[in-house]
Structure 1
Amino acid sequence: MADFSDAMRITSSGMRAQAARLRHVSENIANADTPGYHRKTISFAAEMEAGQATGAVQSGRMRLDRSELDQIYDPSHPMADADGNYDGSNVNLLIEIADAREAQRSYEANLKLFDQVRQMSTSLMDLLRR
């Protein structure tokens, strides 16, 4: 039974990590038109226990993408400088949509594996009751 609980813990850690990734992607999409907004990224790391990898994953720290912000020409904008330019955001919607799709599919794969483990443990319990 320990193997079932380990498998469920590993798949649930993957779902938590992808949910965190999806949260940051949705924040990026929501702020794509916010002046001065830097894209948020998140990394993943293997979960360690007593110096050994457990197979689980954890989300790392959120980081800001420090690439150049788009310069937008709009002299009527309140944030425009003397030349009529202001800093836009560095969010590329095409990349964010691709990241969202990848996170969604990874979440679904972990969810299917979680369900398979749950079904196997239920079948095992049914066999042991006989």
Structure 2
Amino acid sequence: MSDFSQSLAASASGLRAQAARLRHVSENISNADTPGYRRKSVPFETVKSPEGELVATGRVRLDQGALTRIHDPGHPMADDTGHYESSNVDLMIEIADAREAQRSYEANLKMFDQTRQMSAGLMDLLRK
């Protein structure tokens, strides 16, 4: 396998992994006010393949941190004491994770584009 195709495969796997990460971050943000919702995260793993070492997402993990107890006797999910458990999503962490995933996605996209341009340049040189 050529270095160009290995580079394209590595950056494409990074794009897929960051897209999955961003999907979970957006799901966390959209469920920040959902009672009982636990924050999801996705780990990255190195996978060996014929194209070389690629990145892949592992199994989705649920954050086992404590859920916030909120006192609201009028809430339909409130118990006898008037409390219910909210989500454990911290919007500041989710925004930071989204920004990091975006930057990593952009870096992989730039690497993919640079490799494609180098390959096209090589083909132009070989045609002459």
TM range (shorter): over 0.9
Instruction: Map 1:63-74; keep pairs closer than 5 Å.
Output: 63-74=61-72
Distance 1:69 1:54 in 2: 41
1:28 aligns with 28
2:76 aligns with 78
Alignment partner of 1:119: what SS?
helix
Distance 1:70 1:54 in 2: 44
Computed over aligned residues only, the root mean square deviation of the Cα atoms, in angstroms, reads 1.4
Return the offset for 1:122.
0.1
Distance 1:56 1:105 in 2: 19
Distance 1:46 1:80 in 2: 44
**5+ residue gaps, structure 2:** none
1:15 aligns with 15
Instruction: Map 1:43-58; keep pairs closer than 5 Å.
Output: 43-49=43-49, 54-58=52-56
Q: Given that residues 29 and 96 in structure 1 are in contact (C-alpha distance below 8 angstroms), is that contact kept between their aligned partners in structure 2?
A: yes
Return the offset for 1:54.
2.7
Q: Given that residues 47 and 57 in structure 1 are in contact (C-alpha distance below 8 angstroms), is that contact kept between their aligned partners in structure 2?
A: yes
Distance 1:110 1:5 in 2: 14
Provide runs of 4+ in structure 1 moved above 2 Å: none
Q: Given that residues 46 and 54 in structure 1 are in contact (C-alpha distance below 8 angstroms), is that contact kept between their aligned partners in structure 2?
A: no
Q: TM-score, normalised by structure 2?
A: 0.96
1:112 aligns with 110
Aligned residue pairs: how many?
128
- The alignment-based identity, stated in percent, is 64
Distance 2:110 2:64 in 1: 36
